[in-house]
Each structure stands twice: as structure tokens, then as C-alpha cells.
């Protein structure tokens, strides 16, 4: 007797062709997986997908029931409506892969579609690094979960997909919730706040005090990568052994002032909003396009961008 999974005649349908999808599609195809791209009607990506040589289908028109693995790589706030629009074509035991746990954690997609396997495979890298690590056989890790997948084939499908994507460390087995909360919190507490805006505020202060812009760029923007590389390469103990005495003393002095109870209270508030679902609700009806264009405008008009164009492109990693 055929198992349900043996009934699928097609392998992978990637939904969307944005940042992650481009890297996933290339990596999986290079790993000899059969990849089709599913796009919305009149998608602006249709010509690029064709140019890249991937078969394509239109989500609202074509049948998706024969694909064993659906990989949803569109913005997280679109997952629920996209799955709703194609759910009448779902097959029992189909795998739905997510590159971030957000939509399953907050919108309980696993409860809405209990006959499908909802699997997390979240690469811990931006899209360009997912492709670069694959091409160079460099280290790449991910977070994974099969907690919302009941079928026996899910674990094997996840293992194979991770390998074919180029995940060669782990993946770390976590819950959808832990991946979601961890990812959102670190973006807010450090990665997309303290690092870029700390660099900007530091640059602005040096400039205000008359330090040359070139010097300020190197110290505040370029050196972020050098420090981050050393942290990863050597670990915390060796990192703090390696930095100069002045850097050690100055860092300690600043730490006591910057990491005040106010900052720690802010961290508590940010985490509470993630945990309570307030942040998720705030994303509903939020005008991401407007925020993006405002932020891009702010950075386009800032000297750090000109200095990046002048100096940074020559010093760009790899
Ligand atoms: N970006 C990263 O580096 C990164 C890192 C880790 C995890 N992730 C996760 O990976 C997933 C994808 O993120 P991403 O940044 O790659 O997304 P993205 O680039 O913003 O995705 C854009 C793609 O989604 C399609 N799309 C948007 N709305 C759609 C809709 N309603 N129906 C059908 N297609 C729609 C777009 O279609 P058109 O082509 O027609 O415009 C486009 O192809 C998310 O879950 C994200 O959290 C991203």
C-alpha cells in the first residue's frame, strides 16, 4: 500500500520570489531538487523567475495539491491570507515549511490546517548569506521545529531539505515560539537598533566634535564588522582578553552608563509586547511601505551612506 507521501508527484513549490526565495530556489535546484515557483497573479517577479529558468505557476489558478513540500517565503503578514486562498487545494499530509515562526505562533495556522504538517526551517542568515554559504560550503545554521507536524515523513523531509539548502551546522531544534520571540527580540534589542543606530549616533557625535568624517566612518561603521567577526571567531572570553586596555576600561565605563536600569526596563517592555501579542497586533494594518521609505530617506541623506559609497565599497567584506 502506498503511504500518503508517496502519492505526491511533485517535490517543492516555493511561494513568492523575494529575498529568501531567490537563495532557497537556487540552492535547492543546485542540490538537484525539483523546484517550482508559485506567484500571485500579475506578479512583478514573473519575468525574473522565467529568466532564472524555474517553472512557475499562478497561485489563484493552478493546482498545488501534487506538491509534497510547500515553502512559504513571502512577508510573514501575508502567510495567513495566502494559505487561506489556496487551502481548498491542500492535500492531506502536505508539508508547509516556514522560514520564520511568526505566522504560526501568532495566527495558529497549524490549528487552522491540522491535516498538513507545519514545519519550521529558519536559516539564521540574511538571504545573500544563505546563497553565499551554499556556494562556498561555508557554515550555515538554522532553527527547526516539527512540533506541529504529525506525519512520520516530516522529520525526514525536514532533514533532507535542510541539507539541500546548505544547512551544515544543526539545525537547532526549538519551538516555533522560541524562534519567533528570540528573533523578534534580538532584532529590537540589538541587531536593528543598537548596532546601526549606535553607529550612527557615535558617528554624528564625532562629526559634531570636528573629527574627520572618513575617520569617523571607519571607527563607527567599518569596525562593527571587525569586532563582530572577532566575537564570533574567538568567543567572549578570548575577545575580552584580546581588546586593548583602553578599550576594556572605556567599554566598562560606557557599559555602566548605557546599560542603565532604563535600558533594561526598555528591554522588559519590548519583550512583554512580543509575548503578549501586542507587537503582532501592531503589525496589522501597519504601513510598512511608508516606514521603509522614511527610513531609506533618512539613511540616504546621512553622510554615512556617502562615506560607504566612497570608502566602504572598497573595504566591503569578500
Ligand atoms: N529577508 C531575510 O533575509 C530573512 C531572513 C530569515 C528569515 N526570513 C523569512 O523568510 C520569509 C520571506 O521573507 P523575505 O524577506 O524573503 O520576503 P520578501 O522578499 O519581502 O518576499 C517578497 C515576495 O513575496 C511575494 N508576495 C508578497 N505578498 C504576496 C501575496 N499576498 N501573495 C503572493 N505572493 C506575495 C512577492 O510577490 P511579487 O514578486 O509578486 O511582488 C515577492 O515575490 C519570511 O517568513 C521571513 O521572516 C527572511
Respond yes or no on whether the N-terminal peptide bond of residue 171 is cis (omega within 30° of 0): yes
Band (pLDDT 50/70/90 cuts) for residue 6 is low
Residue 22 in this model has a pLDDT that exceeds 80 = yes
- Enter the CATH code of domain 4-174: 3.40.50.720
Q: How many angstroms separate the Cα of 39 from the Cα of each of 42, 44, 128, 303?
A: 8, 9, 21, 38
Residue with cell 526598555: 266
Residue 115 in this model has a pLDDT that exceeds 90 = yes
Probe ligand 1: pick from 74, 81, 103, 182, max atoms within 8 Å of CB?
74
Give first-to-last CA distance, the chain, whole Å: 53
Higher-confidence position of 6 and 206: 206
Q: How many angstroms separate the Cα of 209 from the Cα of each of 39, 113, 198, 204, 206?
A: 52, 59, 17, 9, 5
Give residue 236 CA to ligand 1 midpoint distance, Å. 34
**pLDDT above 90 as % of the chain:** 90
Residue 100 in this model has a pLDDT that exceeds 80 = yes
Residue 7 in this model has a pLDDT that exceeds 80 = no
Specify the pLDDT at position 9.
87
Instruction: Name the residue at shortest CA distance from atom 8 of ligand 1.
Output: 99
**Cα(176)–Cα(65) distance, integer angstroms:** 25
Residue 108 in this model has a pLDDT that exceeds 70 = yes
Active-site residue flag, 100: yes
- Kindly state the average pLDDT of the residues 311-315: 80
Residue ranges around ligand 1 (CB below 6 Å): 16-21, 39-40, 43-45, 73-76, 78, 82, 99-100, 122-123, 126-127
Band (pLDDT 50/70/90 cuts) for residue 318 is low
Domains in the chain: boundaries: 4-174, 193-312
C-alpha cell at 102: 511568526
Residue 236 in this model has a pLDDT that exceeds 80 = yes
C-alpha cell at 297: 530617506
Band (pLDDT 50/70/90 cuts) for residue 314 is confident
Residue with cell 489563484: 60
**Cα(215)–Cα(264) distance, integer angstroms:** 32
- Kindly state the average pLDDT of the residues 71-84: 95
Give φ, ψ of 27 to 5 degrees. -60, -45
- Kindly state the average pLDDT of the residues 8-33: 96
C-alpha cell at 218: 571607519
Give residue 298 CA to ligand 1 midpoint distance, Å. 24
Note the pTM of the prediction, 2 decimals.
0.91
Residue 5 in this model has a pLDDT that exceeds 70 = no
Of 4-18, 117-131, 174-188, the one with minimum mean pLDDT is: 4-18
Angle between helices 261-276 and 176-186 (to 10 degrees): 140
Q: Are 217 and 203 in contact (CB under 8 A)?
A: yes
Band (pLDDT 50/70/90 cuts) for residue 2 is very low
Give residue 180 CA to ligand 1 midpoint distance, Å. 16
Q: How many angstroms separate the Cα of 293 from the Cα of each of 45, 287, 315?
A: 21, 10, 27
Band (pLDDT 50/70/90 cuts) for residue 150 is confident
CA-17 nearest atom, ligand 1? 43
Specify the pLDDT at position 3.
46
Instruction: Name the residue at shortest CA distance from atom 20 of ligand 1.
Output: 75
Residue 313 in this model has a pLDDT that exceeds 90 = no
**Cα(48)–Cα(249) distance, integer angstroms:** 52
Average pLDDT over the chain reads 94
Give residue 5 CA to ligand 1 midpoint distance, Å. 27
Residue with cell 583602553: 246
Instruction: Name the residue at shortest CA distance from atom 4 of ligand 1.
Output: 126
Band (pLDDT 50/70/90 cuts) for residue 44 is very high
Band (pLDDT 50/70/90 cuts) for residue 262 is very high
Probe ligand 1: pick from 75, 79, 87, max atoms within 8 Å of CB?
75
Amino acid at each position: 500500500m502506498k503511504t500518503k507521501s508517496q502519492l505526491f508527484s511533485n517535490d517543492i513549490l516555493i511561494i513568492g520570489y523575494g529575498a529568501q526565495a531567490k537563495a532557497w530556489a537556487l540552492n535547492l535546484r543546485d542540490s538537484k531538487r525539483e523546484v517550482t515557483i508559485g506567484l500571485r497573479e500579475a506578479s512583478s517577479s514573473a519575468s525574473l523567475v522565467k529568466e532564472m529558468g524555474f517553472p512557475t505557476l499562478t497561485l489563484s489558478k493552478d493546482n498545488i495539491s501534487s506538491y509534497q513540500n510547500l515553502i512559504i517565503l513571502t512577508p510573514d503578514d501575508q502567510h495567513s491570507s495566502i494559505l487561506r486562498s489556496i487551502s481548498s487545494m491542500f492535500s492531506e499530509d502536505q508539508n508547509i515549511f516556514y522560514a520564520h515562526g511568526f505566522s504560526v505562533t501568532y495566527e495558529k495556522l497549524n490549528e487552522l490546517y491540522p491535516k498538513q504538517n507545519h514545519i519550521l526551517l529558519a536559516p539564521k542568515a540574511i538571504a545573500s548569506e544563505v546563497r553565499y554559504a551554499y556556494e562556498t560550503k561555508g557554515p550555515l545554521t538554522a532553527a527547526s521545529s516539527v512540533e506541529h507536524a504529525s506525519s512520520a515523513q516530516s522529520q525526514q523531509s525536514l532533514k533532507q531539505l535542510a541539507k539541500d539548502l546548505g544547512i551544515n551546522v544543526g539545525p537547532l531544534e526549538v519551538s516555533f515560539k522560541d524562534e519567533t520571540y528570540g528573533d523578534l527580540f534580538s532584532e529590537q534589542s540589538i541587531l536593528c537598533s543598537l548596532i546601526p543606530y549606535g553607529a550612527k549616533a557615535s558617528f554624528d557625535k564625532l562629526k559634531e566634535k570636528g573629527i574627520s568624517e572618513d575617520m569617523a566612518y571607519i571607527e563607527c561603521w567599518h569596525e562593527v564588522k571587525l569586532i563582530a567577526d572577532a566575537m564570533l571567531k574567538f568567543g567572549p572570553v578570548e575577545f575580552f582578553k584580546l581588546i586593548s586596555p583602553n578599550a576594556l576600561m572605556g567599554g566598562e565605563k560606557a557599559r555602566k552608563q548605557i546599560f542603565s536600569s532604563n535600558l533594561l526596563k526598555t528591554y522588559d517592555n519590548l519583550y512583554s509586547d512580543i509575548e503578549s501579542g501586542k507587537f503582532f497586533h501592531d503589525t496589522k494594518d501597519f504601513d510598512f511601505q511608508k516606514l521603509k521609505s522614511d527610513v531609506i530617506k533618512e539613511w540616504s541623506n546621512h553622510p554615512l551612506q556617502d562615506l560607504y559609497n566612497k570608502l566602504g565599497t572598497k573595504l566591503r567584506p569578500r
